[in-house]
Amino acid sequence: MIAVKNKVIWITGASGGIGEALARELAADGARLILSARRHSELQRVRDSLANSTAHLLLPLDITDSSAVTSAVATIQQQIGGLDWLINNAGISQRALILDTTADTDRKLFEVDYFAQVNLTRQALPLLLADGGGKVVFVSSVAGLVGTQYRGSYSAAKAALHLWANSLRAEMFEQGLTVVTIFPGFVKTEVSRNALTGDGSALGTMDDAQANAMTADAFAEKAVKALLKGKNYIVIGGLKERLAALVSRLSPELLYKMIRKSKVR
């Protein structure tokens, strides 16, 4: 088992949903957290709810702003001096058919869900490697393994992130870096309300599948348990999502038939 007590862990997208739940779980285990998201007031709310709240650093950040990421990494270096884990959790989803989605919306999804994650990770690597190792965690999606209706560009961006993580894992193994990818299924958060429609506006409503899904706290408990066991490929979701992830590896042709008949809204 891997202990997280006193480890410095940076969580992006920490102002709600999965990020907030991961923060609660890790803080309860004694980690020292760096919490990032765009909304400072929500980050403050999250920090106030955590165990040992004064030990955690608030670092408001738009991960798509590369110069802001550079400044954030410098702040961590100056105020803390190092970094043990980076959890790339910030992201945005999609709820639009491919024919209804503009090129600008495609690019925005990739900017947030792929390019920003890659840039932030690359900039944080010197801090993670300074003590001979570190852990990078990418929150991808089961959609990035299987591809579903209404999530064409989102699925593609999450799949790209997964494969970039695979390359990073191979390239940095000798330097002691551990790379983990988590593939959530449906989790009851605000993700569908904030998801982009075809023209780039927010959907504004919660999907039925999202509303009936596992809670963010249940997800976080499973995720942290798997991380502490040293797992590097982690699928968390209901039976259908876990089955789809398995079938994607064993029988892609069967998967295609399953996805066509699936209810994903």
Instruction: Convert the pLDDT of each residue in 138-184 to its tens digit.
Output: 999 999 999 999 999 999 999 999 999 999 999 999 999 999 999 99
- Looking at residue 79, its pLDDT comes to 96
Q: Supply the residues annotated as catalytic.
A: 154
CB of 90 closer than 8 Å to CB of 63: yes
Give how far Cα 214 sits from Cα of 174, 188, 209, 217, Å: 37, 6, 10, 8
Q: Give the residue from 76, 32, 79 showing the smallest Cα distance to 51.
A: 32
Instruction: Convert the pLDDT of each residue in 115-150 to its tens digit.
Output: 999 999 999 999 999 988 899 999 999 999 999 999
Domains of the chain by range and CATH?
A: 8-261 (3.40.50.720)
- Looking at residue 1, its pLDDT comes to 60
- Indicate the DSSP class of residue 53: G
- Looking at residue 227, its pLDDT comes to 97
The pTM of this model reads: 0.95
